[in-house]
Amino acid sequence: MFRRFFCAFPLLVTVLPAEPIQVSPELFRTPEFRARFVGSYGFLPEVEPKVDQEEARLIAELAEFLSVGRFKEAEKRLVEFIKERRNPVDPEAEAKDVSAALVFTLGNLYLQNGRTADAEESYKIAIKRFPEYRRAHKNLAMLYARTDRLELAKPHVMKAIDLGDADHLSFGILGNVLMAEEKALEAESAFRQAVLLNPEESDWKVGLVRALLLKEDWNQAASLLQSLIDQSPDDPLLWKQQANCYLQTDQVMRAAENYEVLRLKGLAEEADLNTLGDIYANREQPLLALGAYLSAIRKSEVIKVDRSIKSAGYLLQLEAPDEAAKLIAEVRAKVGDSFTDPQKVEALLVESDVAAAKDDLASAADLLKKALALDELNGSTQVKLGRIYLQQAASADETEAAELKSLARVEFKKATRNSDKRVAYSANRELAVMLVKNQQYLEALPLLEEAVRLKEDNKQSIELYLRRIQRAAELQKKRKERFELERKQKADELAKFDEKEKEEEAKKAADDKNKAGDGGEDQE
């Protein structure tokens, strides 16, 4: 029934659906409902079973008890009458059973006196004896509705209507039966008939709203909810459900008005205030969003830490780091040391983003290192830390910049092995871009190819970048091959030159040796 809403601003706003409106469980216990049972003690001789003279006299007697609400005495007298008819004291009297009408009357008395199971059995007996017994079908349907057995009520309420019953309770019960079967269109028709017959019964209007919501007829549901709100202005469920209708039709600020009314009345719950904050965040109003988020934290006895951290993230997306910092600080103040390790990591990541947004890169890096100390395999944290190192390197001297780039490369490299495809994609891309800036195209190429493989959608941009780097890598490869060839040629020439020199030196040495030998012989 409920769907998320999205405006132009690309925030992933989480809006919680209002709690579904339910028909009051007291509906079938109201004085009117009871009166219907009392009123059904009479008989409709033209469409229902006949009674004999003896039973007619008893009915007149019972009427005196019923008129003053002496139901238990009436039940006792009727049970005595039935026993007497079945087992007469006079031996000459004929034993006989009572009519379906009196069994039905006994069922009414049982129900009135709180004996539901006995009442159900009596109605069933009455129907078995007289299958077209309209009020027996209707009362049995009402009994099932009263005991939350709507699936059993359906055939009996439909039979009663088919036999001519046109009461608002019958159509209301039928509407609830059809809603349980998720037949929105049919339920809408039943509830409209019930409202037409009794416009003052708000439960039928509630049922009609539920049917309209199931049909996703948001505008009509919102309009009808307004009439219910006018009757019950302090019912928070009505305000929330109407706000949901507004969200479905992109009337976002009208939904915000509903939540603000609940806030002013002191009826807004934590989830309502968080939803209000999301609406303001989606409308790029960070101060109003912060106010709602803080109210949500202060409203709750047990803070939903994950939800509040996510809200701080929304504020960061709005480029409102101060507001995000205030929200995280409020969470820390209220939660104390009861953060779980994953929550500590998430909070540190948000605080790191706040520091980075304020150009405090050293603090941002320190906070990320603390997060990695708690979760050393957190790939998204590794990627963030690598980016911070690169930002720091941009304003550092040559020696420090080289060291920071080396650290960034290490973090990106670790994150490329992450099992989360999105994290691995980001790490491969970041490391590739870093290498491209250093004109290391051949090293960057396999990283970009892996990034393209990991990217599941919207690949056009990264694929275009890959093609550019492939061309640059190809040129670099050719230059490298040419350089290697030239180097090899020079090396070969140098080797030949060295070999020639060695030969000349060897020849000279041999000549010198020969000359030295010739001189020695002459002396002799």
Model confidence pLDDT, tens digit, residues 347-397: 999 999 999 999 999 999 999 999 999 999 999 999 999 999 999 999 999
**Is residue 497, in this structure, part of any structural domain at all?**
yes
Q: Is 190's pLDDT higher than 50?
A: yes
Q: Is 459's pLDDT higher than 80?
A: yes
Residues 6 or more apart in contact with residue 318 via CB below 8 angstroms: 11, 281, 284, 286, 289
Mean pLDDT of all residues in 101-117? 92
Mean pLDDT of all residues in 42-69? 78
Query: Residue 204 is which amino acid?
Result: W
Q: Is 69's pLDDT higher than 50?
A: yes
**Is residue 141, in this structure, part of any structural domain at all?**
no
CA–CA distances in Å: residue 388 to residues 94, 381, 431? 103, 11, 13
Residue with token string 């800036």: 437
Q: What is the mean pLDDT of the chain?
A: 86
Q: Is 406's pLDDT higher than 60?
A: yes
**Is residue 479, in this structure, part of any structural domain at all?**
yes
Distance CA 436, CA 444 (A): 6
Residue 437 sits in which domain range?
A: 377-503
Q: What pTM was estimated for this model as a whole?
A: 0.70
Instruction: Name which residue leads in pLDDT, 477 or 213.
Output: 213
The pLDDT, as a whole number, for residue 12 is 36
Instruction: Name which residue leads in pLDDT, 251 or 27.
Output: 251
Distance CA 309, CA 335 (A): 12
Could you tell me the pLDDT band of residue 47, with boundaries at 50, 70 and 90? low
For the chain, the helix, strand and coil percentages under 3-state DSSP, each to the nearest 5 = 75, 0, 25
Query: Which of 24-33, 366-375, 480-489 is most confident?
Result: 366-375
SS (HEC) of 126-156: HHHHCCCCHHHHHHHHHHHHHCCCHHHHHHH
3-state secondary structure of 313: helix
Mean pLDDT of all residues in 461-476? 89
3-state secondary structure of 299: helix
Residue with token string 């890096």: 365
Mean pLDDT of all residues in 187-196? 96
Distance CA 293, CA 313 (A): 12
Closest by CA to 12, choosing from 278, 248, 287, is 278
**Is residue 91, in this structure, part of any structural domain at all?**
no
Q: What is the pLDDT of residues 147-164, one digit of tens each?
A: 999 999 999 999 999 999
Count of all residues that appear for the chain in the document: 524
Q: What is the pLDDT of residues 223-256, one digit of tens each?
A: 999 999 999 999 999 999 999 999 999 999 999 9
Mean pLDDT of all residues in 436-450? 92
Give the total number of structural domains in the chain: 1
The pLDDT, as a whole number, for residue 493 is 78
Distance CA 169, CA 358 (A): 65
The pLDDT, as a whole number, for residue 60 is 87
Cα angle 314-316-317, degrees, rounded to a multiple of 5: 65
Closest by CA to 206, choosing from 23, 40, 18, 414, is 23
CA–CA distances in Å: residue 434 to residues 83, 410, 478? 98, 12, 22
Return the CATH number at 498. 1.25.40
CA–CA distances in Å: residue 461 to residues 426, 467, 498? 14, 10, 54
- Range from 60-74, 196-210, 275-289, 307-321 carrying the lowest mean pLDDT: 60-74
**Is residue 51, in this structure, part of any structural domain at all?**
no
**Is residue 9, in this structure, part of any structural domain at all?**
no
Q: Which two tokens stand for residue 503?
A: 């030969």
| Cα 280 from chain centroid (whole Å) | 19
Contact 347, 366 (CB under 8 A): no
Q: Is 336 left (phi over 0), alpha (psi -120 to 50) or beta?
A: left
Closest by CA to 319, choosing from 289, 279, 296, 363, is 289
Distance CA 297, CA 306 (A): 12
Torsion of CA 373, 374, 376, 378, to 10 degrees: -130
**Is residue 410, in this structure, part of any structural domain at all?**
yes
Could you tell me the pLDDT band of residue 473, with boundaries at 50, 70 and 90? confident
Alpha helices per DSSP H over 181-251: 184-197, 202-214, 218-231, 236-248
Q: Is 34's pLDDT higher than 90?
A: no
Could you tell me the pLDDT band of residue 524, with boundaries at 50, 70 and 90? very low
**Is residue 172, in this structure, part of any structural domain at all?**
no
